[in-house]
Structure 1
């Protein structure tokens, strides 16, 4: 067993960084609590709510209380009502149905050119994206910029979004419920941008957009015609830049995918 010892300055900073990455941002007490020393609470029967008196007004839920079990159909209705990207962004700013919003710093809606004919879709914002409010601005974003430049593109020629617009705590993968609540907004975003080509970045984004459980290694580099919302578009999946930073040999595969994108761009006369 590892012996407890007082942490030095560097160790304390490392612990704080770990807590921040895990989404811990508030202390619930001044003194630590030994949960192992506590007895498990007995299972009491749930209390029955007293019936409201006739003629009394219903008790309103606090406006900042989290929504549990939000209805995806409400998200679909709201998303469909947006006629412009600005309206869609405003709807997302006001939408409280997805719990990811409660722990994120801000909405990460999109970056790049909304009139672009090429759209890139990643999975979810990371810590730096959460701070700046733009997708792909951390180390993986810097690598993405270099990859785009290698085939003659930059952020003025592409539009970049994520499958979910709020950072999951600890950069975890969004849950199926969170995806179901955010997906109608992404579909409407694709419809409003109406790109000619879509490239997904990473396995989770590929599985969401291509509606598949197949792994990214098997799927990457293969073009398919997809219907995203009501928009029909050619799409290709590739590896996420963050994965390339951890696995340098995979850059060869990603480069082959980017060359395939470049060939398609030239064939359609796009990206100019």
Structure 2
């Protein structure tokens, strides 16, 4: 009780002396105390009993390996050679050319231009590539230059529609799809079609092969310069070969018609000798 009376007397004395503030032994931040009072109480729920436990992290998806590229893809010539290895008929050959994926011409062409004429003919004519009219009709040499070629040979008694082997011809092209804009095929395009051309010749098995223009000469002889090659007989693997200028060249250069006529007469003479 004495302590209480002493404290009262001390407080009374301080009031009489004009004391209006309480000073403690150490400074205290009263604002901080207010913040602590209004702070949210911590949860009493233990971590092991969390009402909303964190969702487990999803397992990472396995990384898919990219498809393995063919380390040694076949080049077009090799693939064409393999395609024709099992070809036994003209229909097989036609199908092989249709399935050959490396010729971009087929994406811009209307039709495959395979062949026309008598498959039993002794005479086979190899052209260059289809033009606009050939692409539309799906037959080789049916345009203006083709009609000129028909006229020249028919004047010697030879035609594509004749059923007699020694008086008819079978005709095809080095390239069986029309190049865009009727441009000339380039070397790698000729190279990729060479296996098909050789197989075509093998299936027809002609006695005489006529090469019309530089593209055909490149495919078979690996040579160009048709004005120098024309009119000269060649023999490869017991096959008689005669290069002549392309009829489209004759339309642009009519002065060569005389030379072409002489070449066709020589072909006719050779056929007569074979009868």
TM-score norm. by structure 2 comes to 0.71
Structure 2 unaligned residues grouped into runs of 5+ = 1-61, 162-167
1:156-167 alignment, distance < 5 Å: 156=161, 157-167=168-178
Distance in structure 2 (CA, Å) of the matches to 1:89 and 1:208: 19
- Note if contact 2:190-2:215 (Cα within 8 Å) is conserved in structure 1: no
1:133 paired with 2:116, answer no
**Per-residue deviation, 1:55:** 5.9
Aligned to 1:243: 249
Distance in structure 1 (CA, Å) of the matches to 2:98 and 2:218: 26
1:222 paired with 2:270, answer no
- Note if contact 1:121-1:163 (Cα within 8 Å) is conserved in structure 2: yes
SS, match of residue 259 in structure 2: helix
Distance in structure 2 (CA, Å) of the matches to 1:103 and 1:79: 24
Aligned to 1:58: 67
1:167-186 alignment, distance < 5 Å: 167-186=178-197
1:153 paired with 2:158, answer yes
1:81 paired with 2:86, answer yes
SS, match of residue 93 in structure 1: helix
- Note if contact 1:210-1:226 (Cα within 8 Å) is conserved in structure 2: no
**Per-residue deviation, 1:71:** 2.7
- Note if contact 1:109-1:134 (Cα within 8 Å) is conserved in structure 2: yes
Give the greater-gyration-radius structure (CA).
2
Distance in structure 2 (CA, Å) of the matches to 1:185 and 1:142: 25
**Per-residue deviation, 1:207:** 2.7
**Per-residue deviation, 1:57:** 6.8
- Note if contact 2:191-2:219 (Cα within 8 Å) is conserved in structure 1: no
Cα gap change, 1:56/1:130 in structure 2, threshold over 3 Å: closer, same or farther? same
1:7-156 alignment, distance < 5 Å: 56=65, 58=67, 70-156=75-161
Structure 1 consecutive aligned stretches of length 4 or more whose deviation exceeds 6 Å: none
**Per-residue deviation, 1:253:** 0.6
Cα gap change, 1:252/1:81 in structure 2, threshold over 3 Å: closer, same or farther? same
Aligned to 1:261: 267
SS, match of residue 174 in structure 1: coil
TM-score norm. by structure 1 comes to 0.71
SS, match of residue 89 in structure 1: helix
**Per-residue deviation, 1:69:** 8.6
1:252 paired with 2:258, answer yes
- Note if contact 1:82-1:88 (Cα within 8 Å) is conserved in structure 2: yes
SS, match of residue 191 in structure 1: helix
**Alignment coverage as a number of residue pairs:** 206
User: Which is richer in helix?
Assistant: 2
Structure 1 unaligned residues grouped into runs of 5+ = 1-52, 61-67
- The CA deviation string for residues 152-205 of structure 1, in whole angstroms up to 9 with x for no partner, is 111031110111101111111111111111110111000000000001111221
- Note if contact 1:70-1:98 (Cα within 8 Å) is conserved in structure 2: no
- Note if contact 2:116-2:171 (Cα within 8 Å) is conserved in structure 1: yes
Distance in structure 2 (CA, Å) of the matches to 1:122 and 1:199: 9
